[in-house]
A and B are shown apart, each in its own frame.
Chain A
Amino acid sequence: DAGVTQSPTHLIKTRGQQVTLRCSPISGHKSVSWYQQVLGQGPQFIFQYYEKEERGRGNFPDRFSARQFPNYSSELNVNALLLGDSALYLCASSPSRRNEQFFGPGTRLTVL
Chain B
Amino acid sequence: AQKVTQAQTEISVVEKEDVTLDCVYETRDTTYYLFWYKQPPSGELVFLIRRNSFDEQNEISGRYSWNFQKSTSSFNFTITASQVVDSAVYFCALSDLIQGAQKLVFGQGTRLTINP
What interface size band does chain B fall in? 20 to 34
In the complex, are the beta carbons of A97 and B102 less than 8 A apart?
yes
Residue B37 is within 8 A (CB to CB) of chain A in the complex: yes
A29 to chain B, nearest CB (A): 13
* The residue from B33, B103, B108 contacting A33, defined by CB atoms under 8 A apart: B103
Q: Considering residues A94, A101, A106, which has the most beta carbons from chain B within 10 angstroms of its beta carbon? A: A101
Residue A72 is within 8 A (CB to CB) of chain B in the complex: no
In the complex, are the beta carbons of B47 and A97 less than 8 A apart?
no
Q: Mark B38-55, 1 if CB is under 8 A from A, else 0.
A: 000011111100100000
Residue A63 is within 8 A (CB to CB) of chain B in the complex: no
Q: Give A44's nearest chain B residue, CB to CB.
A: B106
Residue A15 is within 8 A (CB to CB) of chain B in the complex: no
Q: List the 9 closest A-B pairs by CB distance, nearest first.
A: A56-B101, A42-B106, A103-B45, A55-B101, A45-B103, A48-B101, A56-B98, A56-B99, A105-B44
Task: List the A side residues contacting B42 at CB < 8 Å.
Answer: 105
In the complex, are the beta carbons of A56 and B44 less than 8 A apart?
no
Cα-based distance from A14 to B33 in the complex (angstroms): 39
Tell me whether chain B's interface is mostly helix, strand or loop, or mixed: strand
In the complex, are the beta carbons of A45 and B104 less than 8 A apart?
yes
In the complex, are the beta carbons of B45 and A90 less than 8 A apart?
yes
Task: List the B side residues contacting A50 at CB < 8 Å.
Answer: 101
- Residues on B lying within 8 angstroms of A by beta carbon are 4, 33, 35, 37, 42-47, 50, 91, 93, 95, 97-109
Task: List the B side residues contacting A102 at CB < 8 Å.
Answer: 47
Known: A103-B47, A105-B43. A58 touches B107 (CB 8 A): no
Task: List the B side residues contacting A41 at CB < 8 Å.
Answer: 108-109
- Residues on A lying within 8 angstroms of B by beta carbon are 31, 33, 35, 40-45, 48, 50, 55-58, 88, 90, 92, 94, 97-106, 108
Task: List the B side residues contacting A97 at CB < 8 Å.
Answer: 100-102
In the complex, are the beta carbons of B99 and A55 less than 8 A apart?
yes
Q: Give B44's nearest chain A residue, CB to CB.
A: A105
In the complex, are the beta carbons of A42 and B91 less than 8 A apart?
yes
Q: Give B6's nearest chain A residue, CB to CB.
A: A42
